[in-house]
Structure 1
């Protein structure tokens, strides 16, 4: 399948050819590329948020840069970038625009699933697609199920052909609208879990842009409908072994989430400092000429920076923990990785929310004007951090150290 880019024109989607993606050759090049893209993505981030203008052109630049392929293993033509590098890339892009930073989160998670579950032929095929520029979207949890682990989507054998038929409705489908492939979890007739890769343009596959969250507004994390979507047998990856064998799927997915929140926090702190320096007036009782000389403001900025640096440190520590794990791993190593990432997730969640709210207290009334759109930081933080409740991260960490109880073994842990 050739890679394509989705563009919305009068409510309809059309496809245009896409040039092959650039091949990134080193982890330093990946970091440098992310920084260059972030400078451009930040320019109209507020405008995209206000207008809910979907970042089709930005996503095309993002994936064509080669960054979406950096975790493809070396044995399959990629550079096999470390989790430290991936977390840094996601954080850099998310500081510029966290919607853009979130869109490939499932793409990278899926690449990791392929590494541990797919056959050799499937790895060669799908990694090859990604190296050429193809994007994986996501058909997320089912909106009407009892919880995120309840799967009702089904895949059945088509009795008249070697193919299978996929049926179900999913929501929170971040990245699907921008994707070439829409992977989803489904159960077969025996109730076994499968990872199914559906062609984004297959007959019966609909992506509905009905995401209306007040934050992360341009992720297009809406509905995907599978209505007898035909899927080749080679595009189905078994998942049942992940339920019976230790793996790093959950910790890696959580690391990416934490990196997005860290990026939001960086943007909020940076904008608070810039606004105080350039626009804010000192409080009358402070006795100073500049808002930046107010000793109470200085104290609070120091507090924000310390918390931010602590979150960064735990994020990097969690990524290094993952990098240092051998594959395959054992259950104790899986628990250690989950706990390390949970600790980072606590701090990245809390600083993203705290900094995006503290910004207004320190910058003053003028910072609330809609022209600045600074409330997007809090809206983005509030919406994205709901993905995995941080109260359960505290529980996981405490239960591990106090009772030697490992965290739950699923993608949200």
Structure 2
């Protein structure tokens, strides 16, 4: 019988160590069968329950609120390792940690404190923000509407790309009231009128349930709606940097997973090509070189992600302290995160192809499922393409033009 994963790493007196025995055991459990789950499309509900039961969704909460009080850098060390174990599970949790960062970590009223307690107890939060009938992704007024109904609201609309919500206890919904004022609504997923549909059919990240969510006359309490403001939630400049870097961290984890598979594949090979320089694959200098390239790419991807995470820590600390230079620090974090995305995405995608150079034709069999690494990395990289990132970085380097403060920067 598998040993239960404890939540001792979340005791207020401790800080999470990314290689603690509890974390190692949990990640090993999640990694078991990850390839089979992806190939057979077995949704990872038990694996998300491991996260929920270990209360790892509370890593960023303060110790006095039942969290681990980890830095963003430490959290992203964990995300990289989780992406290495199972990129789908890591992606499922992206919206949870993003919502915690926006609305739950620093509560301002009783309702926010209730959300914080729920997360401290293990609750997972999903997201329903994107609408397919809007002309731009991000900074637009949603068609999902809050209508006043007595002291409360009724919520109506349809969302897509609802990543992770199928596995979650709560969902954050981007909406607007009758005046067009944007708001974030955080409600239980089991509330009457919510329908979750697992209709995501992407070539990668197949188990994230990134599909459709319908809201039909869903009752929302007044305190469950947080309207955008300059110092709150989505109103904060560069508030999406965390969510973007989270995706990049998963790609850094995929690069590590590719290295693991490439090394194991060379060690296990019994045959080689007629013209190979060595009859023993593990002694073949060409295969050694390819694995070395993969290893270097994985190192580079992880390094740039953690450097950007440190900048995000500095920006968050500045905002929490009310520093006058908080927005400048946020811009620096967004800039480094954009640069990190370009580097990590390129290495993960390239390594996903190099993996087949160390395996030959047999590595392409469906049973190996090695193609999942390229598919998953390519899918994650397609969130807000690198061409837009590179252009904005170039503008900044040439003329000092700031990066966009909204959207995924």
Q: Given the two structures, how large is their TM-score scaled by the length of structure 1?
A: 0.90
Equivalent residue runs for 1:69-84 within 5 Å: 69-84=58-73
Shift of 1:324: 2.1
Mark the CA change 1:244 to 1:136 in structure 2 (over 3 Å): closer, same or farther.
closer
Task: State whether structure 2 residue 224 is matched by structure 1 residue 238.
Answer: no
Aligned length: 392
Asked if structure 2 preserves the Cα contact closer than 8 Å seen for 1:209 and 1:220, the reply is yes
Shift of 1:402: 1.5
The Cα RMSD (Å) is 2.1
Asked if structure 2 preserves the Cα contact closer than 8 Å seen for 1:21 and 1:131, the reply is no
Task: State whether structure 2 residue 19 is matched by structure 1 residue 28.
Answer: no
Corresponding residue for residue 200 of structure 2: 211
Shift of 1:362: 2.0
Corresponding residue for residue 382 of structure 2: 386
Corresponding residue for residue 337 of structure 1: 333
Task: Report the 3-state secondary structure (helix = DSSP H, G, I; strand = E; otherwise coil) of the residue aligned with 1:393.
Answer: helix
- Give, in whole Å, the separation in 2 of the partners of 1:271 and 1:369: 14
Select the residue among 140, 144, 155 that pairs with 2:146.
155
Asked if structure 2 preserves the Cα contact closer than 8 Å seen for 1:136 and 1:181, the reply is yes
Task: Report the 3-state secondary structure (helix = DSSP H, G, I; strand = E; otherwise coil) of the residue aligned with 2:382.
Answer: helix
Select the residue among 277, 282, 287 that pairs with 1:287.
277
Corresponding residue for residue 412 of structure 1: 408
Task: State whether structure 2 residue 172 is matched by structure 1 residue 176.
Answer: no
- Give, in whole Å, the separation in 1 of the partners of 2:176 and 2:288: 55
Corresponding residue for residue 114 of structure 1: 103
Asked if structure 2 preserves the Cα contact closer than 8 Å seen for 1:93 and 1:101, the reply is yes
Alignment gaps of 5+ in structure 2 = 1-5
Deviation per CA, 1:229-254, whole angstroms, max 9, x where unpaired? 00111111122325996545222111
Asked if structure 2 preserves the Cα contact closer than 8 Å seen for 1:193 and 1:240, the reply is no
Asked if structure 2 preserves the Cα contact closer than 8 Å seen for 1:109 and 1:249, the reply is no
Asked if structure 2 preserves the Cα contact closer than 8 Å seen for 1:198 and 1:229, the reply is no
- Give, in whole Å, the separation in 2 of the partners of 1:164 and 1:75: 33
Alignment gaps of 5+ in structure 1 = 1-19
Corresponding residue for residue 274 of structure 1: 264
Deviation per CA, 1:38-59, whole angstroms, max 9, x where unpaired? 2111121111111111111110
Q: Given the two structures, how large is their TM-score scaled by the length of structure 2?
A: 0.90
Mark the CA change 1:73 to 1:396 in structure 2 (over 3 Å): closer, same or farther.
farther
Structure 1 segments of 4+ aligned residues over 4 angstroms from their partners: 20-23, 115-118, 242-248
Select the residue among 390, 394, 397 that pairs with 2:393.
397
Task: Report the 3-state secondary structure (helix = DSSP H, G, I; strand = E; otherwise coil) of the residue aligned with 1:357.
Answer: helix
Task: Report the 3-state secondary structure (helix = DSSP H, G, I; strand = E; otherwise coil) of the residue aligned with 2:154.
Answer: strand
- Give, in whole Å, the separation in 2 of the partners of 1:191 and 1:304: 49
